[in-house]
């Protein structure tokens, strides 16, 4: 079996979601520590432009977005699926809300002045300036990532009340086992909770506190070996992308297989990836591209949250 390689950094909440899923499944993986800000030359050699964190690699196949990464890991998961059967539709919808709207709420809390003052990254004026500049470029052209503090606090409290009620008589939001909703809520609660100055937001929510401890166990159950970005690129170069059985292309796109396309997220981080179209079905977009260092690659995206268009087409 080809190793799964997670390109991530320690403070990244969406990476934490994937680390915890790995911990739950018990699947071993390798990880590459990538920079939190641009430039990210090794990552870009693999993705072709996508810079968000995390990215997962399996040989010469590159998977963008934690929603897709969760699916790929789940396919190899020897335990109960984190997508379940009963309640699957509700779970997917709830995870999407959590990873988008609740993420903005938590960014609002984490980037409030009191939290920034206590954050080691922001202690160094130069590092802080570089980070702020990087994130301004990252979110350019889209709505602000953080929602204003009073609204963020209100929505956070209200969501904690709902979680508290949900967790009163059950170990996980998914029931006896965690599901994707647990992992989506976990990484964002972790993002807030890991900062001591913000821990007060969890006061009075004892069921949530006990659940955080249960989820922390998965997060700590890491079985990872760290490799360099260069090693990850050599691994890609030594593999061929996996053949996809019966690849489909949505006829409404009016794009032929093999046409040069570009893929962009629909929410933020509008750095396009270009390549030849391989798949664009209801679930996935896959493009083939070549990189001088990494060789032939296949880059995969979820269809939800990403747009594919002919290269050079601005409509
Ligand atoms: N929908 C994406 C969101 C990923 C995301 O926003 N990641 C943040 C870090 S947690 C990011 O990319 N920040 C900028 C960067 O790392 O360059 C996913 O689920 O993977």
Backbone φ, ψ for residue 29 (5° rounding):
-155, 165
**Do 131 and 182 fall within a single domain?**
yes
Q: Which residues contact 69 (CB under 8 A, 6 or more apart)?
A: 6, 18, 54, 55, 56, 63
**CA dist., res. 309 & res. 315, Å (int):** 8
Q: Where is the domain boundary, 216, 250, 281? A: 216
**How far is CA 24 from each of CA 20, 84, 300, rounded to the nearest angstrom?**
6, 14, 24
Select from 156, 185, 216 the last residue of a domain. Answer: 216
Distance 52 CA to ligand 1 centre (A): 4
Whether the model clears a pTM of 0.95, i.e. scores above it, the answer is yes
Domain range enclosing 142: 88-216
SS3 175: strand
Total structural domains in the chain? 2
Q: Is residue 44 part of a domain?
A: yes
pLDDT surpassing 90 at residue 105: yes
Residue 42 CA to ligand 1 centre (angstroms): 17
Q: Strands 224-226, 306-310: parallel, antiparallel or unpaired by DSSP?
A: unpaired
pLDDT of residue 1: 62
User: Which residues' Cβ are closer than 6 Å to ligand 1?
Assistant: 12-14, 36, 51-53, 65-67, 99, 138
Look at residue 26 and tell me if it is in a domain: yes
Query: Residues 188, 233: one domain?
Result: no
User: Which residues are paired to 290 by β-bridges?
Assistant: 296
Statement to judge: residues 107 and 188 lie in one domain: yes
Q: Are residues 210 and 102 both part of a single domain?
A: yes
pLDDT (tens digit per residue) in 275-314: 999 999 999 999 999 999 999 999 999 999 999 999 977 5
Taking only the tens place, the pLDDT of each residue in 194-222 is 999 999 999 999 999 999 999 999 998 77
306 and 268 within one domain: yes
Residues written for the chain: 315
What does the pLDDT look like over 228-265, one tens digit per residue?
Answer: 999 999 999 999 999 999 999 999 999 999 999 999 99
Residues 253 and 291 in one domain: yes
Asked if the structure places residue 20 within a domain, the reply is yes
SS3 label, residue 289: strand
pLDDT for residue 121: 85
Residues 128 and 201 in one domain: yes
Residue whose C-alpha is closest to residue 236's, from 53, 79, 46? 46
Q: Which residues contact 37 (CB under 8 A, 6 or more apart)?
A: 130, 131, 134, 135
Distance from the alpha carbon of residue 269 to the mean position of ligand 1, in angstroms: 8
């Amino acid at each position: 079996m080809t190793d799964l390689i997670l390109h991530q950094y320690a403070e990244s909440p969406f990476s934490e979601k994937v680390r915890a899923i790995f911990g739950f499944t018990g699947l071993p993986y390798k990880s590459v520590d990538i920079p939190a800000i641009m430039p990210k030359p090794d990552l870009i050699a693999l993705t072709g432009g996508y810079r968000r964190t995390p990215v997962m690699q399996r040989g010469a196949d590159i998977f963008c977005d934690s929603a897709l990464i969760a699916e790929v890991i789940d396919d190899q998961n020897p335990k109960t699926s984190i997508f379940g059967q009963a309640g699957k539709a509700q779970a997917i919808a709830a995870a999407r809300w959590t990873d988008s709207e609740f993420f903005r709420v938590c960014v609002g809390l984490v980037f409030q002045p009191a939290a920034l003052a206590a954050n080691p990254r922001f202690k160094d004026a130069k590092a802080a300036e570089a980070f702020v500049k990087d994130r301004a470029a990252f979110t350019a052209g889209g709505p602000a990532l953080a929602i204003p503090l009073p609204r963020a606090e209100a929505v956070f409290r209200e969501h904690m009340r709902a979680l508290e009620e949900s967790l009163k008589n059950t170990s996980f939001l998914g029931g006896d086992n965690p599901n994707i909703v647990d992992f989506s809520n976990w990484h964002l609660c972790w993002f807030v909770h890991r900062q001591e100055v913000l821990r007060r937001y969890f006061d009075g929510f004892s069921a949530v506190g006990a659940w955080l401890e249960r989820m922390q166990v998965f997060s700590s159950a890491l079985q990872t070996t760290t490799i360099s970005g260069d090693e990850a690129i050599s691994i890609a170069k030594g593999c061929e992308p996996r053949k996809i059985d019966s690849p489909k292309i949505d006829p409404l796109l009016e794009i032929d297989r093999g046409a040069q396309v570009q893929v962009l997220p629909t929410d933020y981080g509008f750095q396009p990836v270009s390549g030849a179209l391989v798949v664009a079905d209801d679930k996935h977009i896959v493009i083939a591209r070549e990189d001088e260092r990494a060789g032939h690659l296949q880059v995969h995206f979820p269809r939800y949250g990403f747009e594919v268009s002919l290269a050079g087409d601005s409509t």
